[in-house]
Structure 1
Amino acid sequence: MSADTTRKDAVSAQHWMNDGSLHFGVGIEDTFVPQERIGQRRLDEYELTQHYEHWREDLGLAAEAGAQFLRWGIPWFLVEPRPGEFDWRWLDEVAAYTQEIGLRVVVDLMHYGTPMWLENQFLNASYPERIASYAHHVAARYKGVWDDFTPLNEPVINAQYCGETATWPPYLSGQDGFVKLMIALSRGMVRTQQRILEANPAARIVSVDAGFRWEGDETPLPLEILLERRFLSLDLTMGRVDENHPLREYLVEHGVTDADFGWFQTNAVKPDVVGVNYYPGFTTVRYVDGVTVPVEAGTIGLRDLLTLYSERYQLPLAVTETSRGGSVQSRVDWLGESVAEIDALRAEGMPLVGYTWFPFFTLVDWLWRNDLTTPDEWFIHMGLIDLHRGADRVLERRKTEAFGRFQELTNSRRGPTPV
């Protein structure tokens, strides 16, 4: 029996998400890509949305909305400005405030960006140990205040942007690049979970990956590869990629060795909760003449993805991101429709334990990084709160009707206070 399995047996009964309730949360968009190059600006969502200046207000609003938990990310590149040197001043304030207002945080340790000093970013030979060391320090310092962690957000999208489409550093491309990134990211996720549990054996791990669905006959890769790739990070980190895995040949073709497979099987880890990100308007896509076209899939797509993950992993599930862009009314409608579908799935026996509206407030489209216009021209209003810039250039937080509806839901369904 592995140490990870022993730890799971010891703490599973006290896991706050396993009390039988559906826990409601919100998340603050926290993508960080601090590296710049000609034609591409630094991307820091906290900076663009003025969260650094308004963090107390933002966290207070999350608590006011009735959120039982908050998905919130640490800007690693700021907290560890030099290798092994940490600046905890701001993080200490945030941690103390979340404890003061009773807001549980599922800490997003890595949301795309690496520190400036880490050459070649995710492909640096020391990356898995570097991120694991940072995670260990965070888990040790905030033990008892922050005990819930996501080792890395959306590994498949991360591997696509950084390894397949050369959109973000280290700018690899093609299937060879995708696989190299996926192996590096997955090694980092394994080592991160191991080092977190060394620092805090009672810590809980919430994995988070984007859901993917396809319609139509045209796909950029064979459909059977796409269908399996969406599960690849979990399959690797959980040691499930054996000789019979559907992607074994694909991975070997792109440089993965028997030693690599053996390492993942020897070091297999398992999350406490499997998080699935789903957006009804663009999680499902169709390819038309090589161009990606989003397809509206509504609650059908949500049910489909959650069923796939539930049957494959037999673990508690959470919707770790969902929302809808457009009018406030469309957000209100999706809140009602998606929660009703989750209620139905829970009634059918699916172990759904969490629902997260993400983002909590307006975000700046990642394409802003490649543009010369202001952040305001790239605002995407998908949240319960909209941002509006005043004459003083300050971004005002304005509650929408969706905020009120979310508050009503959480107040009417509030379960036992998490311990």
Structure 2
Amino acid sequence: MKWFEDGRLHFGLGVEDTFIPQERQGERALDEYELTQHYRFWHQDLGLAREAGGEFLRWGIPWYRINPEPGVWKWDWLDRVMDRFAELELKPLVDLMHYGTPTWLDNQFLNSSYPERVAEYSGRVAARYADRVVDYTPVNEPMIHTLFSGKFGHWPPYLSGDDGLVALVRNLSKGFVLAQQNMAAVLGDSAIFTHVDAGFRFVSDSTTGEHEDEIRHLKARSYLVEDLVTGKVDADHELAPWLSRHGMADEDLDWHRENIVLPDVMGVNYYPLHSTELLVSGKPVRGDIADPRDVRNDWTEGLTDVLSAYGQRYGAPVALTETCLTGSYARRLQWLDASVDCVQRLRSEGQNIVGYTWWPVTDMYEWTYRYGTEPLEHYRLTMGLWDLVPDEIGTLHRVKNPVADRFLQHASAALALASSEGIH
């Protein structure tokens, strides 16, 4: 029996693992493991996840470091990390592509060999750790990838507009499929694939329906990569005409319908302060990264919506694979309690929700660090169960805060409930 089939709710954590190593004038490399000093404190950080009651840890591999040149693979550090997971009996849910490609891959996601390159990398990782790791996410938040790199011109390869978005979707989706196929060939029936995307929501303050068409399009677009890889995009799909106008060929859609990969678990990321975008009556429809839409905090109503929608659309068990609230301890505790209660209520109503993930273990740094000039501490986001507190020489000490204790209480209560019900 696989872990998500035992009928109980599993609690886990994540380590922020965004990797955009490419630099250019006015843009710094963005490697969250470097910024948070996880490369230095990884041994401790994994232990903190276990201390807080995490059964699993969403943790990403920096592809650009493991594969620094074509055909060159450096495994020593990763071997030690995987040994530490095993020592702690902490289940790794491995992110293989959490943004960013190696610096040697020209044009990044647009490179004609990208699908084969990411598939080779994924297959090599799966083969090396097949005796201890079976849980993988081929691509974290693929629609964020395609928007930031293809629609907004924000990350390499800096495309913009709908043509750029569709170009990114085409290559990224093919790489997604080939990576999962390669790993499945290595791991066989033991493989567990958690597909993870951002839980986008779009609402309007209009009472006249002026945004109905735009919201329908945006919502359909938010599912696009997952719809492609699961074979849902055909001539009758709502986005088929739009895809065709912006460069997606019939043979691309045919290929996806012939090469379907399905999630064992459908992961959804939801942040109450960011996940619900608001279209405002009388204002131009926006959404470019330089002119973002307004947002609205729909609290657990939004969480209920995205968990329910993904479960219904894809028919797989659902996990909340990222959530948190940036702010004071009191606000974080309020969201932790409310979101856990929401998930438990949905489970009691019959929804098959198998995982809850607080993201991340420690504080992290805003992605705007990449474009900024301020010292690192200016960009710190107070999100974690452990604060990152710099000393006079810049060492980031991990300082436990009350959210860690509350998370442990929730995780322990879930285990106790399962035990009382005879679930192990």
TM-score when normalising by structure 1: 0.94
Task: Compare 151-160 and 283-292 and name the one that shifted more.
Answer: 283-292
Q: 2:114 aligns with which of 114, 123, 127?
A: 127
**Identity among equivalent pairs (%):** 46
SS of residue matched to 1:200: helix
Q: Which aligned pairs between 1:287-302 and structure 2 lie closer than 5 A?
A: 287-288=279-280, 289=283, 290=286, 291-302=292-303
1:210/1:276 contact within 8 Å kept: yes
Residues 200 and 122 of structure 1: CA distance in aligned 2, closer, same or farther (over 3 Å): same
Aligned partner of 1:351 in structure 2 is 352
SS of residue matched to 2:235: coil
Task: Compare 72-81 and 197-206 and name the one that shifted more.
Answer: 197-206
Deviation at 1:392, TM superposition (A): 2.7
Please say if 1:80 is aligned against 2:67: yes
Please say if 1:136 is aligned against 2:128: no
Q: Which aligned pairs between 1:11-410 and structure 2 lie closer than 5 A?
A: 14-201=1-188, 202-216=190-204, 217=206, 222-288=214-280, 289=283, 290=286, 291-410=292-411
d(CA) in 2 for partners of 1:389 and 1:149?
A: 33
d(CA) in 2 for partners of 1:54 and 1:248?
A: 47
Q: For 1:294-344, what per-residue CA distance to the aligned partner results, in whole angstroms no more than 9, with x for missing partners?
A: 211100000011111111111100000000011111111111101111111
Residues 68 and 242 of structure 1: CA distance in aligned 2, closer, same or farther (over 3 Å): same
d(CA) in 2 for partners of 1:375 and 1:160?
A: 26
1:278/1:319 contact within 8 Å kept: yes
Deviation at 1:374, TM superposition (A): 1.4
4+ runs deviating over 4 angstroms:
217-221, 415-419
Deviation at 1:221, TM superposition (A): 8.1
Task: Compare 289-298 and 21-30 and name the one that shifted more.
Answer: 289-298
1:303/1:341 contact within 8 Å kept: yes
2:203/2:215 contact within 8 Å kept: no
d(CA) in 1 for partners of 2:213 and 2:133?
A: 40
2:273/2:297 contact within 8 Å kept: yes
Deviation at 1:222, TM superposition (A): 2.0
SS of residue matched to 1:170: coil
d(CA) in 2 for partners of 1:234 and 1:45?
A: 26
Q: For 1:250-280, what per-residue CA distance to the aligned partner results, in whole angstroms no more than 9, with x for missing partners?
A: 1111111111111000001101000000001
d(CA) in 1 for partners of 2:253 and 2:386?
A: 45
Deviation at 1:370, TM superposition (A): 0.4
Q: How many residues align?
A: 406
Deviation at 1:219, TM superposition (A): 6.3
Matched to 1:267, the amino acid is N
Task: Compare 213-222 and 183-192 and name the one that shifted more.
Answer: 213-222
1:16/1:418 contact within 8 Å kept: no
Residues 79 and 283 of structure 1: CA distance in aligned 2, closer, same or farther (over 3 Å): same
Q: For 1:22-42, what per-residue CA distance to the aligned partner results, in whole angstroms no more than 9, with x for missing partners?
A: 000000100000000001010
Residues 390 and 128 of structure 1: CA distance in aligned 2, closer, same or farther (over 3 Å): same
Q: For 1:59-92, what per-residue CA distance to the aligned partner results, in whole angstroms no more than 9, with x for missing partners?
A: 0000111100000000000000111211000000
d(CA) in 2 for partners of 1:347 and 1:141?
A: 40
Q: For 1:232-251, what per-residue CA distance to the aligned partner results, in whole angstroms no more than 9, with x for missing partners?
A: 11110011101111111111
1:359/1:382 contact within 8 Å kept: yes
Matched to 1:317, the amino acid is V
Aligned partner of 1:413 in structure 2 is 414
SS of residue matched to 1:222: helix
Unpaired stretches in structure 1, ≥5 consecutive residues: 1-13
d(CA) in 2 for partners of 1:220 and 1:66?
A: 43
d(CA) in 2 for partners of 1:61 and 1:251?
A: 45
SS of residue matched to 2:100: coil
d(CA) in 1 for partners of 2:34 and 2:141?
A: 21
Deviation at 1:126, TM superposition (A): 0.5
